[in-house]
Structure 1
Amino acid sequence: MDFMAEMAELALASRLRRLSDLYWQGVTATYRQSGVDFDVRWATIFVLIARQGPVAVMEIADRLGITHPAVIQVINELEKHGLIVSAKSEQDGRKRLLSLSQTGQDMLPKLQPLWDAFITVNQQMLARQTHNMLISLQEMEAQLAERTFFDRIQDQLNINKSLQLAMSNIAIVPYSPEYQSDFKRLNIEWIETYFRVEQHDLEQLDHPEIYILPNKGQIFFAKADNQIIGCVAMVNTGTTDRGDSSFELAKMAVSPDARGKGVGKLLCLAAIDYARQLGVKTVWLESNRVLTPALTMYASVGFREVPRVPTPYARADIRMEINL
């Protein structure tokens, strides 16, 4: 099991670094096998100088979006290996303009066939992807250019503090017959907003003691100021094809004026903890792709999309699971 993959969003930067390392290992081995004395770290700056030179250090940093010290480090290595030369700018004597040396120009015909192969292999792999990585990288870079990762983290930490204050008076309580009407009200409210109420909905909402609570099934409610503002059900669904015990997380609903405050996540975590205490191995759910906030929340606690199976719900177009 790939633990870094299990960490999902938490390990995004580390996975990008690992992917980069895999690329660099292959490229370095190719250079070595081809008898080309060239470091993979030099490539982007070397290509920019070859295509745009003479070019100044700051211009390289700006064009590539990397730091000035990082550019200087590579330039020093390129100069040490005799691949580039520098000269003072005639317009500004403080500027160093960089261009390929004769040795660097002689290196280009040796590098180009290898780079052509790199491009073709990348194109082949990108063509097999569901989502083009280059487009995803461009979108991520654009977002970070608009607002830095640090600033986004600070915003989220402030939001989390506000949510903690808002949730400090929320209690998670188990099912009691007095809450059955709230259970039905909250679910009918959101279902009718997006879809239509189906027969299996009414069975569970009208008769939870028959369709949800048997065999250690449970319904959890979020209660604030003596008001029920959210609910989620845990339905014992027996064993999976793998022989593991399983529960369905169902009938998640949050009152409209309580949404966006972490109530759904609080309920979801309580339900997962309940399943874990029972020794349940798999918790699954069905939803619809139009419910983006809910799907994002499920993913944030560890649910991952899995192949769909026959379902009593016409609206269900995605199935997710979490292994405990």
Structure 2
Amino acid sequence: MNFYQDLGFLVFGSRLKRLGNTFINDVNRIYKNHKIQFDASWFPVFYILSQKDEVSIKEISNNLKVSHSAISQLASSLQQKGFIKSVISKADARHKNIMLTAKGRKLLEKIKPVWFALEKAMNELAEESGSSSKKILKALTGIETSLSEKDFFDRIESHL
């Protein structure tokens, strides 16, 4: 018996979490192996800042659908490490944005090749796994969209 496969959707979340942990742990091992002082949990903020010179915590929070508090804590940690800094918004002087420091931009240049390799490895994994694996991103988007319309808690409650 393959526990996870036999139980199907009953353990869907557990399987996603297990896969996610595997990916994150291996990516962190890559950073460590290449002596890059970076943690995979920093990726969303660094990626967004690689695309925009400066951005607000609220904008990051909205884009990632993560609490403002969680992004604020991560930003504080990155600021303490010297990778980002707070600046007054160019659009509205009443607000603050964050941006990469010179140290952060230097780190970004070290991690970009890892991101490129990671994307290639994930595409390779999807190719090896067959045609259904290529559809996984579309399927996840569909589930996320459905959950935004009615959350999982309410779906379970409706069956109790």
Give the structure 2 partner of residue 231 of structure 1: none
The structure with the greater share of residues assigned to strand is 1
Which amino acid letter does the alignment assign opposite residue 35 of structure 1? Answer: K
Contact 1:28 1:40 in 2 (8 A): yes
Which amino acid letter does the alignment assign opposite residue 129 of structure 1? Answer: G
Contact 1:50 1:99 in 2 (8 A): no
Give the structure 2 partner of residue 156 of structure 1: 159
The CA RMSD over aligned residues, in Å, is: 1.6
- What are the within-5 Å matches in structure 2 for residues 280-291 of structure 1? none
Which amino acid letter does the alignment assign opposite residue 117 of structure 1? Answer: A
Give the structure 2 partner of residue 69 of structure 1: 69
- What are the within-5 Å matches in structure 2 for residues 1-324 of structure 1? 1-89=1-89, 91-93=92-94, 95-127=95-127, 128-131=129-132, 132-157=135-160
Contact 1:31 1:38 in 2 (8 A): yes
Task: Please give the per-residue CA displacement for 1:252-287, whole angstroms capped at 9, x wherever unaligned.
Answer: xxxxxxxxxxxxxxxxxxxxxxxxxxxxxxxxxxxx
Task: Please give the per-residue CA displacement for 1:180-221, whole angstroms capped at 9, x wherever unaligned.
Answer: xxxxxxxxxxxxxxxxxxxxxxxxxxxxxxxxxxxxxxxxxx
Which amino acid letter does the alignment assign opposite residue 154 of structure 2? Answer: D
Structure with greater Cα Rg: 1
User: Aligned residue pairs: how many?
Assistant: 156
State TM-score, norm by structure 2: 0.89
The structure with the greater share of residues assigned to helix is 2
In 2, Cα distance between equivalents of 1:154 and 1:3: 25
Which amino acid letter does the alignment assign opposite residue 40 of structure 1? Answer: A
- List runs of 5+ in structure 1 lacking aligned partners: 158-324
In 2, Cα distance between equivalents of 1:28 and 1:105: 19
Contact 2:46 2:108 in 1 (8 A): no
Which amino acid letter does the alignment assign opposite residue 78 of structure 1? Answer: L
Report the alpha carbon displacement of residue 88 of structure 1 after superposing the two structures with TM: 2.6
Which amino acid letter does the alignment assign opposite residue 85 of structure 1? Answer: K
| Structure 1 consecutive aligned stretches of length 4 or more whose deviation exceeds 6 Å | none
Q: Secondary structure at the match of 1:7?
A: helix
In 1, Cα distance between equivalents of 2:130 and 2:67: 31
Contact 1:36 1:110 in 2 (8 A): yes
Contact 1:54 1:97 in 2 (8 A): yes
- List runs of 5+ in structure 2 lacking aligned partners: none
Task: Please give the per-residue CA displacement for 1:196-255, whole angstroms capped at 9, x wherever unaligned.
Answer: xxxxxxxxxxxxxxxxxxxxxxxxxxxxxxxxxxxxxxxxxxxxxxxxxxxxxxxxxxxx
Higher relative contact order (CA 8 A, sep 6+): 2
Matched-pair identity in %: 28
In 2, Cα distance between equivalents of 1:29 and 1:59: 30
Q: Secondary structure at the match of 2:131?
A: coil
Contact 2:49 2:100 in 1 (8 A): yes
Report the alpha carbon displacement of residue 114 of structure 1 after superposing the two structures with TM: 1.0
Q: Secondary structure at the match of 2:116?
A: helix
In 2, Cα distance between equivalents of 1:32 and 1:139: 35
Q: Secondary structure at the match of 2:97?
A: strand
Report the alpha carbon displacement of residue 10 of structure 1 after superposing the two structures with TM: 1.5
State TM-score, norm by structure 1: 0.46
